[in-house]
Amino acid sequence: MKKQPDNRAVPMSAPACPVPPTNYENILLAHGGGGKLTADLIEKLFLPAFGDPALDERHDGAEINIGRIRLAMTTDSFVVTPLFFPGGDIGRLAVYGTLNDLAMCGARPLFLSAAFIIEEGLPLKTVHQVADSMGKAAKSSGIRLITGDTKVIERKSGNDLFVTTTGIGIIEHGLKISPQSIMKGDKIILSGDIGRHGTAVMACREGFEFETTIESDCAPLWNQVEIMLRENIEIHCLRDLTRGGLATALVEIAETSGLRLEIEESLIPVSDQVAGACEILGLDPLYVANEGRFICFVPEKQAGAAIGLLRQSAPNAAIIGQATDTPKKDYSNIRVVMKTPLGTSRIIDRITGDQLPRIC
Amino acid sequence: MKFLDEFRNSDLTGKYLQAIKATIRQPWTIMEICGGQTHSILKYGLDQMLPDEITLLHGPGCPVCVTPIELIDMAIGIAGQPNVILCTFGDMMRVPGSDGNLLDARARGNDIRMVYSPLESLKIAENNPDKRIVFFGIGFETTAPTTALALKKAKKNRFDNYFVLSAHVRVPPAIELILSSPENRVQAFLAAGHVCTVMGYREYIPIAENFHVPIVVTGFEPVDILQGICMAINQLERGAAAVENQYSRVVSENGNSMARKLIDEVFETTSRKWRGIGEIAGGGLSIKPDYAAYDAARVFGPVVAKVEESPRCLSGKVLRGLIKPPECPAFAVDCSPANPLGAPMVSAEGACAAYYNYSISRQGPIGG
């Protein structure tokens, strides 16, 4: 794995045996939040235990070559409360989420498996609705849901359903789409306004007295990728913005690529509704989850063409910044810098744990 | 977004910067009281824009930062008792106690819930009559009225399973303490706009007079803060020491009388230990004897806690404006949001977190 200098990271000589990751003895919710604790868990526990070079890419999926055929494979588990939310449900999320991870490898999604862990007592009607939603999502995306598994666990709270999907896709171009392919000068394109999924789900959680009409952006992304590939846009890297939001995706890519990323706040589209909800809740939209947005790194000379193609289906797509040189020695651990609307700059870092609402 | 974009407008910030530069003739040190203001300053890089003559010090106005470790330990202790659901604001969850924080306590199996309002915790009490619901009430005069409202409703509806552990604090005594210290460097204050929304600014008039210090009630957006600084500099250069109100679109002299009445009905001022600062006379709000049956501190009895602060954490000096966060040897070395030694590194209003999360210079030398 390519390690970047970071004076807060553990030294390379740290033991690769099962030591407790970070300073925590137990798993906290934040270990699944996509932030620093998640990164710690992956780097200090899973990667040393699995030890496969394919994992070193730190991409949304792995590429496998069988003869001359390039395939991509990815897997994802879905837990969301509530199971049905404005703009989607766990079923659609499970199909599109995995499909999107394949698309982010530049792969045309072909096949999907689905595994269910269902809590005793869950109404059958709920399972039916989710399955139906998955079937429709798969059909409309042109992929086949071809195998699955079901397990039932003892009742705890009575309403849980976890879905895991695994996807296989085919890579039909000669590009290597990964953070390592990003070049200095590449433009960063964002495919639409951010923060819809996270705010939509949060606003409809039980006990949360906050009403909005914000809908999740949950949507398949392959078509948007395909149109760019078809028009020979030399895509260097793709990343969908799920948990942890735009900020986390940028930090991850910057760390893996070894480049510094510079973005401009005023170029990042956020709808008024999402901006307002985040303002009230004390959340930063940069860190709020999305389920139908991605960033794309392309050579500067093709950025205009790429934006033109994306805007056919994503009118809010925008160039938000660029990749620049490896950071200077002094600020080696600052990977992502954002220019504020006032012309000043601030750093963008991973968030520690989940975003917690502020007090006043 | 309307009512916000206007106050993040670069033309207006430019205008106030020009005015500041045209007025200032000598170095001045100004403290913004509220952590929300500190975060705006760092997030928008206002410190990068100001002339070198101005030093901004970051005040103690971060309620979770000053919540004493004893009360956090007590909250964790209460959460560990049978049939208890402990509720608090999200910001409090990661603040370190002597032995871990509330998130750790939740991971150990305790029922600890994050709420947006004390009224949500009252609803939880209504829906769980067989459980004891304890709201860990933190915050300044801003959040105290809703805690008071929840207690009033609990009493009116004769809840027997709802309790409040009060860690509410008051701003004016902390300002007096800072000004009384022989080490004080602060020459003017930006008072916390939200606190004054509730309390008005009458309490600040004698402080400005007695200590001969300008106090400008200031909002939280970049334009607010630069205008507040501009008003403070104007006073300092003229030798004036008055209370002025920059945040007049929200704050009136007498504040919100209904909210103040609620506070008076349920709370009384008390001496309170502020974390990193020490005992402040009149610095806290405790629950009045009329509401004793709902006071978790009385009902759950004294919880003997082993109080242990990290000796490497200099947050007390940060909170009193004696040093800036990057001057602490532990800053970004042993202390980060993932492994905080002190509360200011955790809270969304903590000064150390503001520097860590936003400031380009967090690894390098800082100005001011």
What residue spans define the domains of chain A? 60-171, 179-348
Q: A327: how many CB neighbours lie within 10 A of its CB?
A: 18
Whether residues B43 and A360 touch (CB distance < 8 A) is answered with no
**Which helix H or strand E contains A109, and what residues bound it?**
strand A108-119
Residue found under tokens 């970070």:
A22
The CA distance from B48 to the nearest CA of chain A, in Å, is: 7
Alpha helices (runs of H) in A85-141, residue ranges in sequence order: 90-103, 124-141
What distance in Å separates residue A125's CA from the closest CA in chain B?
A: 26
Q: Does B141 touch chain A (CB under 8 A)?
A: no
Q: Does A207 touch chain B (CB under 8 A)?
A: yes
CA–centroid distance for A230 within its chain: 24
A26 closest CB neighbour out of B91, B108, B116:
B108
A8 close contact with B: CB closer than 8 A: yes
Sheet (strand B162-168) strand order? B111-114, B84-88, B132-139, B162-168
Q: Is B18 on the interface with A (CB under 8 A)?
A: no
| Gap from B31 CA to chain A (nearest CA, Å) | 19
Alpha carbon distances (Å) from A115 to A79, A95, A268, B307: 12, 12, 36, 48
Q: Does B260 touch chain A (CB under 8 A)?
A: no
Report the 10 Å Cβ neighbour count for A154.
Answer: 7
Residues of A with Cβ-Cβ distance to B41 under 8 angstroms? none
Quote the pLDDT of residue A163.
Answer: 96
Nearest to residue A178, comparing CAs of A62, A50, A261?
A62
B222–A337: do the CB atoms touch at under 8 Å?
no
* Residue B27: cis peptide before it, omega within 30 degrees of 0: no
Sort residue B8 into left (φ over 0), alpha (ψ -120 to 50) or beta: alpha
The whole-angstrom separation of Cα B65 and Cα B77 is 19
ipTM score for this prediction: 0.80
Q: Which CATH architecture has domain B65-170+255-299?
A: 3-Layer(aba) Sandwich (3.40)
B278 phi, psi to nearest 5 deg: 115, -170
Asked if B362 and A356 come within 8 Å (Cβ–Cβ), the reply is no
A165 sits in which H/E element = strand A161-171
Name residues 312-331 of chain A within 8 A of B (Cβ).
Answer: 330-331
Contact A122, A160 (CB under 8 A): yes
CB contact under 8 A, A345 and B48: yes
The residues, any chain, with a CB within 8 Å of residue B321's CB and separated by 6 or more, are B31, B57, B58, B59, B178, B184, B185, B186
Residue A232, pLDDT score: 96
Predicted local confidence at residue A1, as pLDDT = 37
Q: Which helix (H) or strand (E) holds B206?
A: helix B204-211
Question: Which tokens is A322 given?
Answer: 């660029």
B144, B256 contact by CB (below 8 A)? no
The strand pairing partners of A188, in sequence order, are A297, A321
Residue A240 near residue A109, CB atoms below 8 Å? no
Touching check for B104 and chain A: CB below 8 Å?
yes
Q: Where exactly does CATH 3.40.50.11740 map onto chain B? A: 65-170+255-299
B334 interfacial to chain A (CB closer than 8 Å)? no
Burial B43-79 (b: 16+ CB within 10 A, else e): bbbbbbbbeeebbbbbbbbbbbbbbbbbbbbbbbbbb
- Integer Cα distance of A294 and A315 in angstroms: 14
Mind telling me how many Å the CA of B215 is from chain A's nearest CA? 21
pLDDT digits (tens, 9 = 90+) for A233-259: 999 999 999 888 999 999 999 988 989
* Inter-chain CB proximity A333 and B363 less than 8 Å: yes
CB contact (8 A) between residue A36 and residue B338: yes
Q: Does B87 touch chain A (CB under 8 A)?
A: no
A10 in reach of chain B (CB within 8 A): no
The candidate with the shortest Cα–Cα distance to A119, out of A64, A161, A177, is: A161
A213 touching B, CB under 8 A? no
Nearest CA in chain A to B359: A346
Given an 8 Å threshold on Cβ–Cβ distance, is A337 in contact with B360? yes
Whether B63 has its CB under 8 Å from any CB of chain A: the answer is yes
Residue A100: phi and psi, rounded to 5, are: -70, -35
List the beta bridge partners of residue A272.
Answer: none
Q: Pick out chain B residues at pLDDT < 50.
A: 363-368
> Under an 8 A CB cutoff, do A360 and B36 touch?
yes
In angstroms, what separates the C-alpha of A306 from chain B's closest C-alpha? 29
**Which residue of chain A comes nearest to B333, CA vs CA?**
A8
Matching CATH topology for A60-171 and A179-348? Answer: no
CA nearest to B338 within chain A: A352
Beta pairing class for A88-89 and A84-85: antiparallel
Give me the phi and psi of A163, to 5 degrees please: -125, 130
Which structure tokens are listed for A277?
């909800």
* CA A254/CA B122 separation, integer angstroms: 45
- Closest Cβ opposite residue A356 in set B91, B117, B364: B91
Contact between A360 and B363 using a beta-carbon 8 Å cutoff:
no
Identify the pLDDT of residue A18.
38
Specify the domain boundaries for CATH 3.40.50.11750 within chain B: 10-50+173-245
Q: List, as one string, the DSSP characters of A172-202.
A: -SS---SGGG--TTPEEEE-S---HHHHHHH
Of B45, B138, B139, the CB nearest to A340: B45
d(CA A345, CA B17): 17
Nearest CA in chain B to A9: B333
The shortest CB-CB distance from A28 to any of B49, B103, B123 is to B103
| pLDDT value for A20 | 40
B278 contact partners, CB below 8 Å, separation of at least 6: B316
List of long-range contacts for A248-252, beta carbons under 8 Å, 24+ apart: A248/A34, A248/A35, A248/A287, A248/A350, A248/A351, A249/A295, A250/A188, A250/A295, A250/A335, A250/A336, A250/A348, A251/A335, A251/A336, A251/A348, A251/A349, A251/A350, A252/A39, A252/A58, A252/A179
For residue B139, give the nearest of A24, A210, A359 by CB distance.
A359
Give yes or no for B225 touching A (CB within 8 A). no
CATH topology of domain B10-50+173-245: Rossmann fold (3.40.50)
**Interchain contact B64–A (C-beta under 8 A):** yes
For the A179-348 domain, the top CATH level (class) is alpha beta
pLDDT the model gives residue B10: 87
Rounded Cα distance between A344 and A341, Å, is 7
Give the closest of B45, B142, B363 to A330, CB-based: B363
> Measured between alpha carbons, how far is B118 from A234 in angstroms, rounded to an integer?
54
A336 → chain B, closest CA residue: B360
Return all residues near A353 (Cβ < 8 A) that are at least 6 apart. A28, A29, A30, A33, A35, A36, A37, B94, B103
Query: Does A337 sit within 8 Å of B91, measured CB to CB?
Result: no
Pair of tokens at residue A253: 């890519």
Contact across the interface for A340 and B43, Cβ inside 8 Å: yes
Given a cut of 50, the residues of chain A with pLDDT beneath it are 1-21
CB-based contact B183:B153 (threshold 8 Å) = no
Contact at CB, B360 and A342, closer than 8 angstroms = no
Q: Which residues of A touch B349 (CB under 8 A)?
A: 358-359
Backbone torsions φ then ψ of B274, nearest 5 degrees:
-100, 135
Say how far residue A55 (Cα) sits from the centre of its chain. 16
The CATH number that domain A60-171 falls under is 3.30.1330.10
